Amino acid sequence: MKGSLKIGKIFGIPIYINYTWFIIFAFMAVVLSVNYFPSYVDNWIPLVYWALGICTSILFFVSLLIHELAHSFVSIKKGIPVKSITLFIFGGVAHISREAKKPSSELMMALAGPLSSVLLSGIFYGIHLLTSGVFEPVAVMAGYLAWINLFLACFNMIPGYPLDGGRVFRSLYWMLTGNYKKATRVACIAGRIISYIFITGGVFITIRYNLWTTGLSLSFVGWFLNVAASGSYRNAELRDSLGGVIASDIIIRDYLSISPALTLKQVHVYIMHTGRLFFLVTDNDSLLGSMALENFKSVPQELWETTKVGQVMTHADEMQLIHLEDDAVNILEKMDDVGASRMVVVDGDNGILGLITRDNLMRFAQVRSELGT
Ligand SMILES: [Zn+2]
């Protein structure tokens, strides 16, 4: 995954931290250590504030992770595998491999996260009560964590897709009407309406009450929600228009293959003549790898005459191969996951059948949506 660092695996699910998360982590630790904790208790040494600030930020991170694990756990129980969990600037995302087949499954998956946050809030509140007056640093920290987990649960229950509340809303709508497509559309529209309320509310607070930090934060959250809701909407449309399409419908059988023994200079001539930028590297019809623009760019031009295709190609075992009966929506997800713009279609014995390109897939989806599949 791009821009993310893998930190480990829990229940077999890879856990990633997006780099934006470090910004929020540092920001939170500083604000807590310099501002929040000193305003509560004023006679501790700075080291205690900093230790508390960092511990609280780490426990907040663990809380977010538990929230996402709760979603993932229910998802796996419902038979839907979870590919990964990524923690980023506003929280986390569990990458569920496909949508739920039943509204009740989606409802339970969506509720699991906020429920776990409420539970955590209760546990931290219990610790706060037990340590109050006994060990103040822990009491202050637990009190803060109780509050922020409760906030997290409430914020996530805002009924705009793709927030958890939006998923709850979608599943209920889906349950009542039996119409999954319409439920998704309505939940995405709700997400956008809520995002505009946040944005305009933030601007209003900034101008009317001169509360810059609060106002701008609200607008920023609104903007983020808007991007997420619009993205989900487009995604839903795309899924709709690719419904029922499989690889054999969109395969491009006209591909060019080259030998690994060619030099880059020779391939360059080939490119200039054909205008094609992608080649399969083969030896007696068996796939060895692929050669695209990025493979070329890794070698300085003066070495093109002496460098062979076999030395710089992407090897077949690093390539994602697909089959004729694979679902177009899944192929697109695979491409997104690995950041690929093309994939090779093979038969049962890994014999090459053709290519699927992202451009072609998108064009196909667009035509279908314009003609109203
Ligand atoms: Zn959630």
Evaluate whether residue 167 is within a structural domain: no
Residue 117 has what pLDDT?
95
Question: Do 196 and 322 lie in a common domain?
Answer: no
If one counts the domains in the chain, the total is 3
Question: Do 225 and 252 lie in a common domain?
Answer: no
Evaluate whether residue 166 is within a structural domain: no
Q: Output the CA 15–ligand 1 centroid distance in Å.
A: 15
Question: Do 251 and 229 lie in a common domain?
Answer: no
Evaluate whether residue 168 is within a structural domain: no
Query: What are the tens digits of pLDDT across the range 170-190?
Result: 999 999 998 888 888 888 888
Question: Do 206 and 278 lie in a common domain?
Answer: no
Instruction: Say yes or no to pLDDT of 249 above 90.
Output: no
Domain final position from 241, 263, 283: 241
Compute the distance between CA of residue 279 and CA of residue 352 in angstroms, rounded to an integer: 12
Question: Do 202 and 313 lie in a common domain?
Answer: no
Give start and end residues of each alpha helix (H) in 158-246.
164-177, 180-209, 212-241
Q: Output the CA 73–ligand 1 centroid distance in Å.
A: 12
Give how far Cα 236 sits from Cα of 152, 192, 240, 318, 340, Å.
Answer: 26, 14, 6, 30, 21
Domain final position from 217, 241, 265: 241
Question: Do 16 and 133 lie in a common domain?
Answer: yes
Compute the distance between CA of residue 331 and CA of residue 329 in angstroms, rounded to an integer: 5
Q: Work out the number of other CB atoms within 10 angstroms of the CB of residue 332.
A: 21
Evaluate whether residue 164 is within a structural domain: no
Residue 121 has what pLDDT?
97
Q: Output the CA 169–ligand 1 centroid distance in Å.
A: 13
Question: Do 145 and 36 lie in a common domain?
Answer: yes
Compute the distance between CA of residue 181 and CA of residue 184 in angstroms, rounded to an integer: 5
Question: Do 275 and 132 lie in a common domain?
Answer: no
Residue 2 has what pLDDT?
61
Query: Is-contact 321 347, C-beta < 8 A?
Result: no
Evaluate whether residue 169 is within a structural domain: no
Give pTM, 2 decimals: 0.71
Q: Output the CA 52–ligand 1 centroid distance in Å.
A: 26
Q: Output the CA 178–ligand 1 centroid distance in Å.
A: 24
Question: Do 12 and 137 lie in a common domain?
Answer: yes
Question: Do 119 and 211 lie in a common domain?
Answer: no
Query: What are the tens digits of pLDDT across the range 24-37?
Result: 888 888 888 887 77
Question: Do 108 and 38 lie in a common domain?
Answer: yes
Instruction: Say yes or no to pLDDT of 373 above 60.
Output: no
Question: Do 29 and 138 lie in a common domain?
Answer: yes
Q: 366: domain CATH number?
A: 3.10.580.10
Evaluate whether residue 284 is within a structural domain: yes
Q: Output the CA 93–ligand 1 centroid distance in Å.
A: 7
Q: Output the CA 158–ligand 1 centroid distance in Å.
A: 11
Evaluate whether residue 172 is within a structural domain: no
Domain containing 189 equals: 179-241
Residue 1 has what pLDDT?
52
How does residue 340 score in pLDDT terms, banded at 50, 70 and 90?
confident
Q: Output the CA 146–ligand 1 centroid distance in Å.
A: 17
Q: Output the CA 217–ligand 1 centroid distance in Å.
A: 20
User: What end-to-end distance do the CA atoms of the chain give, in Å?
Assistant: 32
Tokens 């310099």: give the residue: 34
Evaluate whether residue 165 is within a structural domain: no
Of these ranges, 95-104, 138-147, 299-308, the one predicted with the greatest mean pLDDT is 138-147
